[in-house]
Structure 1
């Protein structure tokens, strides 16, 4: 007897009698995709500029990204929001970033609807829509779309990937992570990487492994069921971590500097049709020194930093190739829609000189050039958290002005590739139609023949803001359907309208010209002044690199575009305009747990993110562990926080009790008990007693006395002349082990405690000294 199925939610069509022999069964029909529905793969790169991919003119080898371009299309006019979380929200919802509550990264949330970092459920995700049409949905890699105070094991989990329509998740929740020792989450729980760096582990390879595993798991059950894979690499965000052989491929490739890079890439972009033959390269940025004016040692260091970055991108391309080969070998690649995008332009968060360890930058403790040079051969490896100088940022955004966080095209125009061999006849060609990342969702839905849902799980859906560019995929002459688009990022504003672009830079066209740096607040009087005199106007249809300000020549057009910006701002929740960084950083935010002076931790629990951990820096504090030591002794970590880049660890080794404070990866200050801790039950305690004041401007935290107690008796003390002043980043706190990068070279991670550890308590009743500006730098670098 054939199975009878009926649409879910409709009346039962069978017969219900008194017994089964006089009844006829019927089943609610499973949700199935239409026959032949294509797979969807979204590849989101991080901090990758317009001039970084080989198919966009770069000398960096990206053959697999190039192969997607050769089998599909490259767009020259695709735009992002210029920042991480805002762009990622647009990509998955098809709505503008302020309407998603994502005016900036979630760590800079404030109490206004467009700024609170809480994506509303009425803005459904593509994953939620496709789930209702029979797709498997997989999220792999970087998320950064959950409020930072909800990234802990206390939840709530409603805005984690599994709460927003993804059936499987493997990746990291925050803005950045070590590629060698990542902070991994599998579905809704924290996990450790499957291997160690010395065993060949790297996050990018792991993400590709999991992508293929998720697809294979589903396909072996239902080969006809399509999938949506949202693949968000940690690359090429800092830290620029890569196996040395990939970086070494580029030895000497960038010795002629960032000015020469721009010239070569721009020439190649014209040859490829990415830029018009008569286009002009943007001006030399006032914040970037001339390469030839740099000391020889600086050029050598900065060249190596760029070699490491290039290797990082090359390595990412290599592993993307594994995924493409897998799809090809399993007969799925031809009927897979692949879209490749970066979340914003290249990142300038390495500052003018770059860094071997971002923890030093955050803590005002930047090492001198001669110290950085000592690490030159280790850059990219597990010991460092490196980022190149912003001269390479500017070069990576060739031919445009500026960079990430700013709404000039260098921050907001990105490479965009679309490939669907079975569905797009055009191959290897360029499209110049204007588009914005909010157009990606409506385009995918049109290609799949799916209407945007009116409700998801009972929540009525807001209209999509983007428009489909599907017509441009098959017709180079199809008109642009996206006519107007506003931009706002940290007070930096712009608006596009039919080939023209008005920009109001904040705090100015460059930091040098403004005379101040990033993060300045905007008063109402200053806003009026900016609207009267601060806007620039570019005819980008003829001047794509925004070189010629036509504001004085087209005053009426500019006034109309400024008015249009305010119309769009009112429509999408942009107000109030906020140029500040520090004020957002220190503003009061709702917390899952209220602040307290006493914290209790137990072993075998999840690590605690830095923002949710006790703030022990620059204040008296104590750590107390309740343990049982077996006959024969025990060893291992009781409590630790941080990594080799900086942190502290309280542990037993060789029977002795130890505490170490790792000052920004540069110095280690230790204290050790003279005698072995005997077998039995004990209370092991560390106390920090300040002995002076911090020198925050010079990156030196409070000096203090490091004291060890066993069962209330002082057994050892030592002085630390300097401690970390502001931030531990990475800064996860762990009880009973040191997963990931070890805080000290005195042991190898995870160094789990081998005795019985009942609990560890931390008391922080002393006065807290902190620097909000340093905290801001940390959060902005995690975008």
Structure 2
């Protein structure tokens, strides 16, 4: 007996002939011809004071114009770290509840740190896509487990797996702005240009996003779009075109004390902060500018100039985006939101850094030693971050930085521009109501008339716990809709609550490794003390105890527990315990291959290892067999002029060893071995077909080589070695490259993990 195949449900009628049948056409969801577009522009590590309209004298005319033509929020809060903020922004829920208490680089085995957003929390892109919106993402993702971001996937947590139709950008926590590690949709690509041709990632991201929008609107003008533009700026490395760097020469020679005071006074004059708000004292470790040696001042000024140039350049790209939307006739009915993911970064340390990999190898730059490289700062041959003094200046008037739950880490800019939806008499006004990043998605849903689903693609959905602030758009006097908000990052905690018209904050700065029960809590009345200068903990212990109790209740509600202050240890655990890329694995690569991100590649950092390449070559064949890193630091194994060559690039100091024997024509096996001989020294040994043929002492063996990944058969991106121009692809037949690092110790892996935290 045969059984008919059951078709999908059909609402027409099927007879024996067409005449006896009735067709039925399903229609795709459509939000309506007047539905607004939504654009969210996210900046990275940009402090509260760093836009011109928030107090700085850095040139940001395009962001300032959006504030003048829209609404400027002066009491907006985020999480203190990038991945958690992004998860909360895109879901309308707390970061812990959706599985992203920290960066996506690791998982802990607990629900609050999955390394990705749980499928029980649909993203804005997923929800709006189901409503008929086109959805685009261009920029930094950092919401997928980094062990899963190679060309091997899996791809479920990449942007296309979480609701975006198109993606162009990078998946990790940072990238080089001149030589980015790019992904299009679900595959890795080489950048379309380099710095010599005027390439810069921020410009490329806006170009790509405008093209996506134009493609969509050109063919489907009736279909609205959601565009998410998370710039790599202003996260380190601070890199900008030379014209922008030149523009800021000498602009900060007065030093951070004078500049911070000036920005604070501008904030008061602009009304960005309330009258009576104090300028917080210098953070511990920030020296008075007058006490710094001349070389320290010169170094610090150049680093701040690079940051300012980077922000100025990013502002110009925002201007290009706005102009593009205007030219397409889309600007008036576009809800355009601009915000930052956390406060300014402290990851440059007390003096600033010329090269982050040097810093995370435990080497502190002596400003006297970098005087001859000042002109490199901000360009393609640097990887800089500014010192604490400039970071606190960027967070004016607050204390502390990114990664802290004090205001300097969580209080950032937010702008909203929507000509069709914001009344003319409200444009250019400010909103001082407390708003949190989890409130953004519910506000978008509210403005679009959309309800977040209870079930999405078979997954029961967590409740949307953010609060729509749509009511405050029309009336500056409307009470805040969010009256209770917790914060937590690596054990540092805070709670903000409004009670009887008074806004209170309890906050503690946890010291890693110490008992959470011993943390000292502080108490502030934010209504009159936004900069947390007057601690009321001793004067009002009952109020403090009440708020601490509320924090624990919110922690239970949002899945914050268990408290966990691990960071470096988590990177080690990821690689050793449950990652497909453990530290002791033997890797075998067969070209052609896409570039391999650092979290998924065979990193030889700080350990003994051996590379073996099986090749077949003609007499003139040459090229790179394997490379990792870039011109700032890295290592390359290549054949050139008939010799096997290794260039070990230790922060610009090159140890080059060349084989004493020629590489024979035909089939052969080439070996490069790095032996660690002490904590900081090693030796490179070469062999051809098993015969030793060269060695060199390594005066400094890097514990961390680079945040840039590896390539097989060529050197993608910026060349590691000055002896060739990238990509210098091997012109013979490269059958396989095998890397054996099975002797790696756990202590070496712990050292290797230290770089990851500052890259977020």
Instruction: Quickly name the TM-score band, shorter chain normalised.
Output: over 0.9
Which residue is 1:510 aligned to?
A: none
Assess if the C-alpha contact under 8 Å between 1:15 and 1:23 holds in 2: yes
- Corresponding position: 1:746 with 2:746: no
1:39 and 1:25 map into 2 onto residues whose CA distance is 34
TM superposition shift of 1:11: 6.6
**SS of 2:657's equivalent?**
strand
Q: Answer yes or no: is 1:728 the counterpart of 2:705.
A: yes
Q: How does 1:767-778 map to 2 (within 5 A)?
A: 767-768=744-745, 770-771=747-748, 774-778=751-755
Aligned to 1:4: none
Work out the CA distance in 1 between the residues paired with 2:660 and 2:516: 64
Residue matched to 2:167 = 169
1:43-54 equivalence runs, <5 A: 43-54=41-52
Q: In structure 1, how many angstroms separate the alpha carbons of the residues matched to 2:697 and 2:538?
A: 64
Following TM superposition, by how much is the alpha carbon of 1:320 offset from its aligned partner in structure 2, in angstroms?
A: 1.4
Cα drift, residue 338 of structure 1? 0.6
1:713 and 2:691 matched: yes
Task: Indicate whether 1:605 and 2:582 are aligned.
Answer: no
1:453 maps to 453
Listed as ranges, the matches of 1:243-392 within 5 Å are 243-392=241-390
Of 738, 741, 745, which residue of structure 2 is paired with 1:761? Answer: 738
Q: Secondary structure at the match of 1:473?
A: helix
**1:769 CA displacement:** 6.5
Aligned mate of 1:504, from 486, 504, 507: 507
Secondary structure at the counterpart of residue 28 of structure 1: coil
The 3-state SS of whatever aligns with 1:27 is coil
Aligned residue in 2 for 1:3 = none
1:494 and 1:501 in contact (8 A); partners too: no
Q: Please say if residues 45 and 236 of structure 1, whose CA atoms lie closer than 8 Å, have aligned partners that are also in contact.
A: yes
Residue 418 of structure 2, aligned match among 414, 417, 420: 420
C-alpha separation between the residues in 2 aligned to 1:55 and 1:539?
25
Question: What is the aligned counterpart of 1:654 among 636, 641, 644?
Answer: 641
Paired residue for 2:465?
A: 465
Deviation at 1:253, TM superposition (A): 1.1
Q: Distance in 2 between matches of 1:778 and 1:620?
A: 19
- 1:590 maps to 2:568: no
1:611-626 maps to which residues of 2 (within 5 A)? Answer: 611-626=599-614
Q: How far apart are the structure 2 equivalents of 1:289 and 1:109?
A: 38
Q: Give the whole-Å Cα distance in 2 for the aligned partners of 1:368 and 1:179.
A: 25
- Is 1:667–2:653 an aligned residue pair? yes
1:627 pairs with one of 615, 621, 636: 615
**Contact in 2 for aligned 1:14/1:24 (Cα 8 Å):** yes
Task: After superposition, give the CA deviation of every residue in 1:658-680 in whole Å (9 maximum; x if it has no partner).
Answer: 111111x1321111124543432
Q: SS at 1:574's partner residue?
A: coil
For residues 583 and 601 of structure 1, what CA distance do their matches in structure 2 show?
28
Q: How does 1:5-44 map to 2 (within 5 A)?
A: 12-44=10-42
| 3-state SS, counterpart of residue 587 of structure 1 | helix
Please report the TM-score for the alignment, with normalisation by the length of structure 1. Answer: 0.93
Q: Say whether the 8 Å CA contact 1:502–1:562 is kept in structure 2.
A: no
Query: Does the CA-based 8 Å contact 1:521-1:578 persist in structure 2?
Result: no
Q: Which residue of 1 aligns with 2:3?
A: none
DSSP 3-state at the match of 2:692:
strand
**Is 1:575 matched with 2:552?**
no
What is the deviation of 1:761?
Answer: 1.1
Deviation of 1:611 after TM superposition, in Å, equals 2.9
RMSD of aligned residue pairs (Cα, Å): 1.7
Judged with a 3 Å threshold, the aligned counterparts in structure 2 of structure 1 residues 563 and 322 are, in CA distance, closer, same or farther, namely: same
CA shift for structure 1 position 581: 2.9
Contact 1:521 1:581 in 2 (8 A): no
Other-structure match for 2:538: 552
Indicate the larger mover: 200-209 or 361-370: 361-370
Decide which of 526, 530, 551 is 1:565's aligned counterpart: 551
> TM-score normalized by structure 2?
0.96
With over 3 angstroms needed to count, the CA separation of the structure-2 counterparts of 1:596 and 1:553, relative to structure 1, is closer
Is the counterpart of residue 528 in structure 1 residue 517 in structure 2?
A: yes
Q: 1:777, 1:50 → 2: CA distance? A: 27
- Verify the 8 A CA contact 2:589 2:737 in the aligned structure 1: yes
Query: Cα distance, 1:719 vs. partner?
Result: 2.3
Summarize deviations over 1:214-253 as a string: whole Å, max 9, x none: 1111111101110000100000000001112102111111
Q: Cα distance, 1:652 vs. partner?
A: 1.1
Q: Report deviation, 1:264.
A: 1.0
User: Secondary structure at the residue paired with 2:105?
Assistant: helix
SS at match of 2:139: strand
Whether the aligned pair in 1 keeps the contact of 2:177 and 2:239 (CA below 8 Å) is: yes
State the number of aligned residues: 747
Q: Confirm whether residue 703 of structure 1 aligns to residue 703 of structure 2.
A: no
Aligned-partner Cα distance in 1 for 2:652–2:194: 23
C-alpha contact 2:607 2:748 (8 A) present in aligned 1: no
Number of the residue aligned with 1:59: 57
- Quick one: distance in 1 between partners of 2:671 and 2:581? 25
Relative to structure 1, the CA distance from residue 294 to residue 771 in structure 2 (aligned partners, 3 Å threshold; closer, same or farther) is farther
Q: State the SS of the aligned residue for 2:47.
A: coil
* Contact 2:491–2:565 (8 Å) recurs in 1: yes
Q: Which consecutive residues of structure 1, in runs of 5 or more, have no partner in the other structure?
A: 1-8, 508-517, 695-699
